[in-house]
């Protein structure tokens, strides 16, 4: 089994935190993980992309070719469209609904949603409202991890342990909020 994921968003949205949670969960289940990151102008709202390969066998490269991703997991809709060429036929596109408008010519949201909806297996997740329900708007990325967990080859309880491991240093309240955001995303 090999599962290829392209994670994308813009700086400050938590792309690398999402990658860390998924990678931690996969490793806790004894799977092999290879990950690569492109930060760009991540501190100024620039594009951030991470590729991740999860496998039960040894992985020789962290690169994912166009048309080979099993999943595009995007923090916002425009970035999901920008990276759609990586998605394999029958793959899953999951994106946050909330746009990150950092350019003057950002497309109309309805047009973006229409393009995404035309892709079989796509999901647009209202991450903002679910994260607020969990206790913090900053937990939107954990809502996405929860939504992705429905199809990723990692158990729910392993994800919850991974979230605890990654966020423990930030305090119990942050762990609780992120776990709740994960569960709300999983149930969305």
Q: Model confidence over 15-32: pLDDT tens digits?
A: 888 999 999 999 999 999
* Residue 37 confidence (pLDDT) above 90: no
Q: Is the pLDDT of residue 85 over 90?
A: yes
* pTM value surpassing 0.85: yes
Q: Which fold has domain 2-187?
A: Pyruvate-ferredoxin Oxidoreductase; domain 3 (3.40.920)
Sorted by where each begins, the domain ranges of the chain are: 2-187
> In the chain, what percentage of residues exceed pLDDT 90?
82
Q: What is the 3-state secondary structure (H, E, C) of the chain?
A: CEEEEEEEEECCCCHHHHHHHHHHHHHHCCCEEEEEEECCCHHHCCEEEEEEEEECCCCCCCCCCCCCEEEEEECCHHHHHHCHHHEEEEEEEEEECCCCCCCCCCCCHHHHHHHHHCCCCCEEECHHHHHHHHCCHHHHHHHHHHHHHCCCCCCHHHHHHHHHHHHHHHCHHHHHHHHHHHHHHHCC
pLDDT score at 45:
66
pLDDT (mean) for 40-48 = 68
Give the pLDDT score at 42.
54
Which pLDDT score, from 0 to 100, does residue 87 have? 97
């Amino acid at each position: 089994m090999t599962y290829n994921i392209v994670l994308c968003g813009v700086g400050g949205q938590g792309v690398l935190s999402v990658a860390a949670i998924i990678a931690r969960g996969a490793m806790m289940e004894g799977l092999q993980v290879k990950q690569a990151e492109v930060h760009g102008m991540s501190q100024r709202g620039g594009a951030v992309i991470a590729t991740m390969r999860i496998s039960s066998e040894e992985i020789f490269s962290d690169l994912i070719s166009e048309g080979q991703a099993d999943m595009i997991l995007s923090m916002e809709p425009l970035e999901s469209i920008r990276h759609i060429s990586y998605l394999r036929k029958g793959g899953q596109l999951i994106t946050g609904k909330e746009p990150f408008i950092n350019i003057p010519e950002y497309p109309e949201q309805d047009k973006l949603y229409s393009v995404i909806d035309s892709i079989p297996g796509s999901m647009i997740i209202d991450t903002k409202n679910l994260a607020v329900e969990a206790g913090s708007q900053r937990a939107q990325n954990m809502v996405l991890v929860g939504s992705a967990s429905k199809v990723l080859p990692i158990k729910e309880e392993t994800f919850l342990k991974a979230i605890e491991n990654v966020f423990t240093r930030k305090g119990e309240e942050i762990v609780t909020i992120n776990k709740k955001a994960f569960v709300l995303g999983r149930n969305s």
